[in-house]
Structure 1
Amino acid sequence: MTPTTVLTVAGSDSGGGAGIQADLKVFAALGAYGTSVLTAVTAQNTRGVDAVLPLPPQTVTDQLDSVLSDFAVRAVKTGMLGTPAVAGAIADAAGAGRLPQLVVDPVLVATSGHRLGVVEAVERLLPYARVATPNSAEAAALTGAPVTDVAEATTAAKALVAGGAEWVVVTGGDVTIGDEAVDVLHGPDGTVVLRGPRVSTRHTHGTGCSFSAAIAVRLALGDPVPAAVAAAKEYVTRALTGARTWELGAGRGPLNHFGWPA
């Protein structure tokens, strides 16, 4: 049976925990065929980002044209865009209806704290997003208001939907709410608060990339947005749990995308 094709538009991670590399792992783990468009090359590992080389917008567009001219892409996710010019090229493709079921992960800062994007680049894509997946810091940067609890996350999600995204899920993995990881989803059907166990682990590198990639796969397979988001949250929880005892790298390690024995 021919697998469903999903596309990721993002930067690379030489450590393999986030970006294009993480997205392709998620696609494979969830049964989709992964294609990719590279926006930037980074030198990074579990300790941090050492260098970033954004690619020219034309190089990004050439990759995108090659993939879309040959593959029946059912869903697309974006991650690190690098520059407003690259974001503009991707936004032009989205505006032309070429990027179905678009999931926008507004990557602004790496887990290590290194800045990887600018707000203006993300804002170019939000009006075309079927789902946007900011964490609390990204939601705060995009709305200009603090996001430290469920009420503020709900306000931010509503503001970003008002700004053009169809659905927004503000992820709460980096907000301390007892022993739960709480995400807030808002869209045409209202607001849903998704609760799950907080996994105690240092292996959190690429969590946001993996979450948005999983949403894209589930949308490509036909799930409605709330079901896709819930399935992605469950997948990431399993991936975090499976990597708790790993010793990959000296910093924030990657997730266990394939459920390898811990």
Structure 2
Amino acid sequence: MDFLSKPVDPSELGLRIRNTLAANAYRDFLGHHDGLTGLPNKVRYRKAAAEVLVQAAANGVEGAFLHIGVDALGRINDALGRVVGDQLLQRIAKRLASCVQTEAHGELSSDQHNPTLYRFDGDEFAVIVPYMEGIHSAAAFINRLLEEATISFHRSGAPEVFVTCSIGVSVFPADGKDADVLMRNAGLALRHAKQAGPHRYEFFSPQFNEQALSRLDLGAELRHAIGRDEIELVYEPRVELGTGKLVAAQATVRWKHGSGRVIRATN
């Protein structure tokens, strides 16, 4: 809301209009870009994903969503501080952006879209690959992303830190035709990649969904397991082989699941 008193000075009017347009453009930029890295944010990611999927469906082509997660960023934040963690994210973002930009108008681009990097959430980035001729055509690009995201960091008085990333990949239309489904599947693939070890990538498999649903089912059933008297605590002896002397005992919680499975948790 603004006003000018008559008579209006044309130069003042022009200045007010320019300032208003600049302020609106800046608000729009903040709404669609990440404040830390300057990359397009999750809002832009979802919008672009929907556009790419419409074009891919019309042309009958394949593409992929890549979710890139920084390995063990939480431990770095705990040891060196959040400021250092943010600096690492900025460095990784620049290196990933440079790698993605080299693919513009290349074999992973469609007629209307190039591969694009986004800041997805927390320690995650995302890349939309709008076109590929089979999974093998994206494998070299994924490996380059892994290498570019590997950096070392050293602060005075602290040990040198090597930072790596892992990548989860969902392929469209094979792994889904909806943006939210493909994002979720790429996230599941990323979690499996991290569980298998740092600095690696995994393609989504329907098995990942089955495992996630199984964990949800077990979690819900565990809430009722005590009431059904399915939980028991046992102590397993530890014996010194040379003397046969009992030296310790290991506590084990056993859950006798209704299906007949026995699930153990030791301490």
Give TM-score, length-normalised by structure 1: 0.26
Larger RCO (alpha carbons 8 Å, 6+ apart):
1
Structure having the larger proportion of residues in helix: 2
